[in-house]
Amino acid sequence: MHKTYNELSITPSYAYKYFIDFIFSLNFEAVEERAGTIIIRSEDSLEKMIFALNEYAKSLSKKLKQDIVLSTKLEIKENEDWIQKYKNSIQAISVGDFYIRPDWEKEDKSKTNIIINPALAFGSGHHESTFGCILQLQKYLNKDDTLLDVGCGSGILGIVGSKLGAIVDICDTDELAIKSAIENFKINGADINLSWIGSVSQRSVQYDMVIANIIADVLIMLSGDLINSIKKDGILILSGILEKYIDRVEAKFSCLKLINKYKKNEWFTLVLKR
């Protein structure tokens, strides 16, 4: 163990979920989320990471047509067995009948356990939008329903769907996300029907339920494809929506019937019916 380690703090002004997905895809040993700031810890140098993040921010700004200001802070700290310290900071979480935990935490035999290692994946259930999605899946998804998880990340929502008895397809524009999701399905003994690298526009069928936990601007951009992806009387679950964008999203999907509107802190999850 080295005497010191490097700690890089990253605070984006916009599109936080894109940055956390990007950072998780690089498989750092420890990544922590803290009140809008992402913290990377490594015994290796992180100076080149600052350059990479700034380039990513420029590219994302153009894609989303939104200026993104990225604040970064790099510190060298005394090594205190930070990997173990990090593991100790990650708490398992209960969401309804599910218990989501890293593999170093003991199982809760009273619930359905799902193993997601936060440092090695794209989502662990701790974020308010993921939490809201898992609650709504338990409320509205029926056994043998067809389900598409758009922008699947770690695959956690699809895994929940599979555990609830659904036939699950997943897609993500990031190849690393798909690889991570497939591995997490295997770890949890869950089944994937179809998976593809790309977005909802590449689907070949309509679904009983479609879930998209992304960000407001992307939901709006994909609105037509998302609406057309569900069957008549099908359910569309949208999440990753900050309070300041909720009116815009609701207006864009106003052709659907709003059947539930869940809020946790400043994040909304919408349940809509065609």
SS (H, E, C) 166-219: CEEEEEECCHHHHHHHHHHHHHCCCCCCEEEECCHHHCCCCEEEEEEECCHHHH
- Distance (Å, whole) CA 104 – CA 244: 37
Q: Is pLDDT at 84 greater than 80 in this prediction?
A: no
Q: How confident is the model at residue 88 (pLDDT cuts 50, 70, 90)?
A: low
Looking at the chain, the whole-number percentage of residues with pLDDT higher than 70 is: 92
Give the three-state DSSP class for 149.
strand
Looking at the chain, the whole-number percentage of residues with pLDDT higher than 90 is: 59
Q: What is the mean pLDDT of residues 229-241?
A: 96
Residue 155 gets the label, from left (phi > 0), alpha (psi -120 to 50) or beta, of left
**What is the DSSP-derived secondary structure letter of residue 136?**
H
**What is the DSSP-derived secondary structure letter of residue 123?**
-
Name the residue ranges covered by the structural domains of the chain.
Answer: 4-88, 125-273
Instruction: Read off the pLDDT of residues 141-150 as tens digits, 9 standing for 90 and up.
Output: 999 999 999 9
Give the three-state DSSP class for 156.
helix
Q: How confident is the model at residue 122 (pLDDT cuts 50, 70, 90)?
A: very low
pLDDT score for 121: 38
Q: How confident is the model at residue 1 (pLDDT cuts 50, 70, 90)?
A: low
36 versus 233: which is more confidently predicted?
233
Q: What is the mean pLDDT of residues 224-252?
A: 95
Instruction: Read off the pLDDT of residues 59-76 as tens digits, 9 standing for 90 and up.
Output: 899 888 889 999 999 998
Least confident of 139-148, 213-222, 251-260: 213-222
Amino acid, res. 104:
W
Q: Which of 22-36, 62-76, 158-172 has the highest mean pLDDT?
A: 158-172
pLDDT score for 45: 87
Domains 4-88 and 125-273 share a fold: no
pLDDT score for 118: 62
pLDDT score for 36: 86
Half-sphere exposure for 143 (CA within 13 Å, toward CB): 0
pLDDT score for 164: 97
Fold of 4-88: Alpha-Beta Plaits (3.30.70)
pLDDT score for 250: 96
Q: Is pLDDT at 95 greater than 80 in this prediction?
A: yes
Q: How confident is the model at residue 180 (pLDDT cuts 50, 70, 90)?
A: confident
Give the three-state DSSP class for 17.
helix
Class of domain 125-273: alpha beta
pLDDT score for 120: 41
